[in-house]
Amino acid sequence: MFPKILNFLPPALVAGILTASGVEPAAPTLRSAYNGSFLIGVALNGRTVSGGNTKAAEIASRQFSSVTPENDMKWQSLHPQPERYDFKAADAYADFAKANQMALIGHTLVWHSQTPQWVFQGDGGQQATREVLLKRMRDHIHAVVGRYKGRVKGWDVVNEALSDGGPDVLRDSPWRRIIGDDFLDQAFRFAKEADPKAELYYNDYGLENERKRSNCVKLLRGMLDRGVPIDGVGTQSHFQLEKPSLDEVEKTIKAFSELGLKVMVTELDVDVLPSRGNPSIADINRREQGDASLDPYVSGLPAEMQQKLAKRYADLFSVYLRNRKSVARVTLWGLDDGQTWLNGFPIRGRTNHPLLIDRDLKPKPAFFSVLGSAKEQRNR
Ligand code: 9MR
């Protein structure tokens, strides 16, 4: 089933398939292969969209139909001080998306992480009141969503509000502590006011876990019942080679589409490195102790592992394609292995290989298996 496509592509084309120059116009791309099924997206960094890495930019725009800023639309980047917004880096994504006819996804408005401390403090440094924080949230959402009105297709309005364990459904975050459990409803309502046409999403990791998924279903059902304007749910999908099972992945898609929500795979990657912790918890604050045995592929991913990774991607995309009526977008969390957050998480300085494109910006077997999955689906 994978990567049959390699067999019928001439080697020169395989080598050059990622670049626009010197490649036959007919060279297949992810973007064209998934056209008609769902958007195929990529998270990019500021350097790539602002001209600092032209080769990466060319590959991204050629292969992908949607772009998410990996960091540059987070509160910390856009609104570092109470009276200061800085839209320069974020504007570059809007320009890049427009120039390349890619759907722009806003990430993210309300999150407990990457939000400056002042947001949660009153004038004297004490904790802000509910009223103050609600006003700040509304002002921020209006300024940011308002600026990109008509340019952003959809926003990750609230990110990672659910807990990973314990009795509480919601995570113990400053948003919840200060505003209360209705902080999600409020954020979605503010976003709707600011751009009535943008799609609004709830985004989280680990939703393949039964407890977290059913908590998420309850949370979103409650919001829908209260008339909160929510259009979709992002299942981040920071995965490993064996986990979660395809069955859980499919159950997750179905659980949310049964609520009538669009389902998006928003941050897909497949960690290939060993872990002694719980790799399904993609919380950036989770850290593990490193040693050399936990960093085995410093000089490259062996062929056998490349095949395993390619098979994992083929299997995942066969689930997504089978559910393409519910899945609106699949976004890879990074363009290439050289730029993935997984080189630094949960142990700093490792050499990970979780994406479709390698450090030299060459397509991996996993790239061709994702391309091939779309073709197989089409030929069925
Ligand atoms: O990939 C992002 C990394 O570069 C940042 O250092 C980190 C902290 O802002 O965020 C990473 O992206 C996260 C995303 O915004 C939300 N879901 C989990 C992602 C991986 O941590």
332-364 residue pLDDT tens = 999 999 999 999 999 999 999 999 999 999 999
- Structural domains counted in the chain: 1
- Are the CB atoms for 52 and 44 separated by under 8 Å? no
CATH code, 365: 3.20.20.80
Express each pLDDT in 283-321 by its tens digit.
Answer: 877 787 778 889 999 999 999 999 999 999 999 999 999
The residue nearest atom 4 of ligand 1, judged by CA position, is 341
Q: Which atom of ligand 1 is nearest to the CA of 341?
A: 1
Going from the Cα of 341 to the center of ligand 1, the distance in angstroms, rounded, reads 7
Express each pLDDT in 292-302 by its tens digit.
Answer: 889 999 999 99
Residue 278 falls inside a structural domain = no
Q: Which atom of ligand 1 is nearest to the CA of 43?
A: 1
The whole-number average pLDDT for the span 272-287 is 83
Going from the Cα of 346 to the center of ligand 1, the distance in angstroms, rounded, reads 12
275 or 210: whose pLDDT is higher? 210
Residue 288 falls inside a structural domain = no
* pTM across the whole model: 0.93
Residue 10 falls inside a structural domain = no
Going from the Cα of 376 to the center of ligand 1, the distance in angstroms, rounded, reads 33
The residue segments making up the domain with residue 147 are: 30-271+293-379
Residue 8 falls inside a structural domain = no
Going from the Cα of 4 to the center of ligand 1, the distance in angstroms, rounded, reads 34
Residue 114 falls inside a structural domain = yes
The whole-number average pLDDT for the span 45-66 is 98
Q: Where are the alpha helices (DSSP H) in the chain?
A: 4-8, 11-16, 30-33, 46-49, 54-63, 75-78, 88-99, 130-147, 174-179, 183-194, 210-225, 246-257, 303-322, 365-379
Tell me the CA end-to-end span of the chain in Å, nearest whole number.
13
**Closest C-alpha among 89, 87, 96, 88 to residue 67:** 96
Going from the Cα of 340 to the center of ligand 1, the distance in angstroms, rounded, reads 10
A 10 A CB-CB count for 32 gives 16
Residue 345 falls inside a structural domain = yes
Residue 279 falls inside a structural domain = no
CA 315 to CA 279: how far, in whole Å?
20
Determine whether 258 is an active site residue: no
pLDDT given at position 5: 45
Least confident stretch, 76-80, 229-233, 272-276, 374-378: 374-378
Ligand 1 probe mutation, 68, 71, 283, most atoms within 8 A of CB:
71
Determine whether 160 is an active site residue: yes
Q: Which atom of ligand 1 is nearest to the CA of 284?
A: 21
Question: Which residue is catalytic, options 24, 248, 267, 376?
Answer: 267
**Closest C-alpha among 41, 54, 8, 45 to residue 27:** 8
Q: Which residues line ligand 1 (CB under 6 A)?
A: 70-71, 113-114, 159, 205, 236, 267, 282, 284, 341
Residue 18 falls inside a structural domain = no
The residue nearest atom 14 of ligand 1, judged by CA position, is 70
**Closest C-alpha among 30, 104, 138, 112 to residue 369:** 30
Does residue 354 have a cis peptide bond before it, meaning omega lies within 30 degrees of 0? Answer: no
Express each pLDDT in 81-112 by its tens digit.
Answer: 999 999 999 999 999 999 999 999 999 999 99
Q: Which atom of ligand 1 is nearest to the CA of 159?
A: 16
